[in-house]
Amino acid sequence: MKNEWLAGIALGMCLSFASCSNGSSPDELDNSVAILTINNEEVLLDRFKIELKAHKKKFRIQGAGEITEEELIWLKNRTLEQVVQNTLFRQEAKINNIEISQEELGEALLKSEVGYPEDSFGRRLEFEGLSRKEWENAIENNLLINKLINNFVNSKVSVSDDKMLSYFEANEARFHKSEQVRALHIMVETEEEIREIQKELQSKQNDFSGLAKEYSLGPEGARGGDLGYFESGQMPEEFDNVFKLKINGISDIIRTPYGFHLFKVVDKIEDRKMSFDESKKQIEQVLLQGLQDKAFQKWMIQLKEKSVIEINYDFLEKIN
């Protein structure tokens, strides 16, 4: 979120760069010098350089060659913004005794690793250039910031039913449910297997649900292949033709990178307008997001106005 104070910082940096020489090599700078002081808390040059390096990597993943002077100025502004903001958040959390318990941290760490097979998560951290401890600290810091913002911003914002109803009436055309189908699914590894299953279905000696329980490799196989209701776009595009089937219709064999598939449509719900009650949750999220953004900006301005932020431009302009 851009705020007025950042415009001043950016202008100061641009003026400095416009009048300065190439500067010193980053290796010649004293890493123990404070490049920022925020409410008497010093941010040393070595920490800023680490943050800047992370921003360079984040915003230049697909780039090639050396970054330009303009890009470097932009990256320094982004880094400066992030360091100041995170430091203020941490200070404010300490003042208000907001902490993250080991239980909260442990749960968040486990969720972050879900879905990564074996040691692939470790390889992801290595690619990002993070040690496990640095990753854990980043997760804890994010949890702390989220709790702080929830306590001082989000929890103080609400939307009345009247405002939600007014929004619904003004935007009624936006709230509709696309066509939905309920389908059963069979997935196997080989074309030979799926063709055998197809023959059994054609002979009517076995029902689709029973065959799904017996052969399907999908997690829904135990439920007779029941995928429940889904809309177009919620499934891989290879399955779009399922919507063309009539109720009790069975698809042709569909091949994907995951295997070979058959579908049987067991129910359909036509495209229709949503009622206000059906739309309320979606409307609340839209309206809350706007109110929370405004409240956050106001809170941040107040937080910065009561803070003392000093920037060492002499060192800032020499970092490359």
Tens digits of per-residue pLDDT, 210-260? Answer: 999 999 988 888 899 999 998 877 888 888 889 999 999 999 999 988 889
pLDDT at residue 222, as a whole number: 87
Candidates 295, 301, 302; CA nearest to 149 is 295
Is the distance from CB of 177 to CB of 272 less than 8 angstroms? yes
Q: Please list the alpha-helical segments (H only) found in the chain.
A: 4-19, 45-59, 69-95, 102-113, 120-128, 132-152, 161-170, 191-202, 208-215, 276-305, 313-316
Contacts 24+ apart (CB under 8 A), 42-47: 43/83, 43/87, 45/315, 45/319, 47/83
65 — pLDDT class (breaks 50, 70, 90): low
| CA–CA dist 25, 5 (Å, integer) | 29
Q: What percent of the chain has pLDDT over 90?
A: 49
10 — pLDDT class (breaks 50, 70, 90): very low
Q: Where in the chain is the domain with CATH 1.10.4030.10?
A: 4-155+292-316
Rounded average pLDDT over 181-204: 90
Q: Which CATH number fits domain 176-273: 3.30.300.250, 1.10.1740.10, 1.10.357.10, 3.10.50.40?
A: 3.10.50.40
63 — pLDDT class (breaks 50, 70, 90): low
Q: Which of 62-66, 110-114, 170-174 has the lowest mean pLDDT?
A: 62-66
More confident residue, 156 or 232: 156
> What's the CATH class of domain 4-155+292-316?
mainly alpha
Q: What percent of the chain has pLDDT over 70?
A: 87
89 — pLDDT class (breaks 50, 70, 90): very high
Tally Cβ neighbours within 10 Å of residue 266: 17
Q: Where in the chain is the domain with CATH 3.10.50.40?
A: 176-273
28 — pLDDT class (breaks 50, 70, 90): low
Asked if the model's pLDDT at residue 9 lies above 70, the reply is no
Rounded average pLDDT over 270-275: 86
pLDDT at residue 24, as a whole number: 44
Rounded average pLDDT over 18-32: 49
Is the distance from CB of 262 to CB of 198 less than 8 angstroms? yes
pLDDT at residue 119, as a whole number: 73
pLDDT at residue 37, as a whole number: 94
Asked if the model's pLDDT at residue 304 lies above 70, the reply is yes
